[in-house]
């Protein structure tokens, strides 16, 4: 049997909200593991704490929230001990979070090309031509047959499903090890929902991307995920 080493290990985390004298435990004893190249779904009712857990995985908890117990190990290192610079590197090079409602994250009136080039500004990819070709590659990877046309569009000219794929291409251009997609399909109609899920599956299989797919729609994710972790009002349902 092949022994796989975990890429991300979440161990017994507790997340607490603190405001002045007030203190409330929001997440209790959540543990799960992601292995290289698999797709795991994190499901559970609205308010169970899925988004908060995903924010914790990349060190982006809102003010007042903090991890008060447990550890989050990325390739064996506890990210809870990372400083801001290390967390920035983690988010840039290793774990990308596609936040819930991230379709709003694309500026509707700035050219797709400008926004995509901005995303890869830290990478040493050579000439302007090389950079554009790199973007073409990722746009083609998410299913666009005319990548150049997409690069020269404004997001407001694209449909919701197309914008979601542009966002995915943008994220993939960072070549992360882990993609966390928080409700990537809720803003989409049924046809585009299936399309985006199929695309994520394709990327996982073909690029070896590790995907944490967050959704409260456990029916559709069960079809695509290799494993399902179910959260239940602040904890895990076992």
Ligand X SMILES: Nc1ncnc2c1ncn2[C@@H]1O[C@H](COP(=O)(O)OP(=O)(O)OP(=O)(O)O)[C@@H](O)[C@H]1O
Based on the shown chain and the rule CB under 6 A, indicate whether residue 235 belongs to the binding site for ligand X. Answer: no
Q: How many residues does the chain have?
A: 238
Binding to ligand X by residue 116, rule CB under 6 A? no
Q: Looking at the DSSP assignment, which residues form a beta bridge with residue 32?
A: 10
Determine the interface stretch with ligand X among 40-48, 70-78, 162-170, 201-209 (rule: CB under 6 A). 40-48
Neighbours of 120 (CB within 10 A): 17
Q: 3-class SS at 66? A: strand
Give me the helix-helix angle, 190-207 and 160-172, nearest 10°: 20
Q: Of 65, 150, 167, 196, which lies in the binding site for ligand X, with binding defined by CB under 6 A? A: 65
**Partner whose footprint covers residue 125, from Mg ion, ligand X, none (CB < 5 to 8 Å by kind):** none
State which residue, 5 or 46, has the beta carbon closest to ligand X: 46
Partner whose footprint covers residue 84, from Mg ion, ligand X, none (CB < 5 to 8 Å by kind): none
**Residues forming the site for Mg ion (CB under 5 A):** 50-51, 100
Among the listed ranges 31-39, 42-50, 122-130, 144-152, the one in contact with ligand X (CB under 6 A) is 42-50
Return the number of other C-beta atoms located less than 10 Å from residue 174's C-beta: 17
Separation between Cα atoms, residue 230 and residue 215, nearest integer Å: 10
Q: With contacts defined by CB under 6 A, name the span among 60-68, 107-115, 138-146, 220-228 that binds ligand X.
A: 60-68
Across the chain, the runs of DSSP E, i.e. the strands, are: 6-19, 22-35, 39-43, 65-74, 77-78, 95-98, 178-182, 210-215, 227-232, 235-236
Number of residues that bind ligand X (CB under 6 A): 15
Rounded to the nearest whole angstrom, what is the least distance from the CB of residue 67 to ligand X in the complex? Answer: 13
Instruction: Please answer whether residues 180 and 58 qualify as being in contact, where contact means their C-beta atoms are separated by less than 8 angstroms.
Output: yes
- Asked if residues 154 and 110 have their Cβ atoms less than 8 Å apart, the reply is yes
Least Cβ distance, residue 178 to ligand X (angstroms): 18
What span, in angstroms and rounded, lies between the C-alpha atoms of 122 and 118? 8
| Part of the chain binding ligand X (CB under 6 A), chosen from 58-66, 70-78, 82-90, 169-177 | 58-66
Cβ–Cβ < 8 Å for 82, 59 = yes
Q: Does 48 bind ligand X (CB under 6 A)?
A: yes
Q: Of 54 and 210, which CB lies nearer to ligand X in the complex structure? A: 54
Q: Rounded to the nearest whole angstrom, what is the least distance from the CB of residue 75 to Mg ion in the complex? A: 26
Contact residues toward ligand X (CB under 6 A) are 17, 26, 44, 46-52, 62, 64-65, 100, 216
């Amino acid at each position: 049997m092949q022994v796989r080493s975990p890429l991300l290990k979440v161990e017994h985390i507790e997340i607490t909200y603190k405001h002045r004298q007030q203190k409330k435990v929001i997440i209790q004893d959540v543990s799960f593991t992601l292995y290289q190249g698999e797709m795991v779904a994190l499901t559970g009712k609205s308010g169970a704490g899925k988004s908060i857990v995903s924010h914790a995985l990349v060190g982006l908890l809102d003010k007042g929230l903090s991890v008060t117990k447990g550890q989050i190990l990325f390739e064996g290192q506890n990210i809870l001990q990372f400083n801001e610079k290390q967390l920035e590197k983690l988010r840039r090079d290793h774990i990308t979070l596609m936040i819930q409602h991230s379709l709003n994250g694309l500026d509707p009136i700035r050219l797709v090309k400008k926004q995509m080039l901005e995303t890869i500004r830290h990478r040493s990819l050579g000439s302007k031509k090389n950079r554009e070709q790199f973007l073409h590659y990722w746009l083609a990877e998410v299913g666009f047959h005319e990548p150049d046309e997409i690069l020269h569009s404004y997001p407001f000219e694209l449909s919701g499903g197309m914008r979601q794929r542009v966002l995915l291409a943008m994220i993939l251009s960072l070549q992360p090890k882990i993609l966390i997609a928080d409700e990537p399909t809720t803003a989409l109609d049924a046809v585009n929902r299936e399309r985006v899920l199929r695309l994520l599956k394709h990327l996982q299989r073909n690029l070896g991307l590790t995907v944490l797919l967050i959704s409260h729609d456990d029916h559709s994710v069960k079809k695509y995920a290799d494993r399902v972790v179910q959260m239940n009002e602040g904890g895990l349902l076992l």
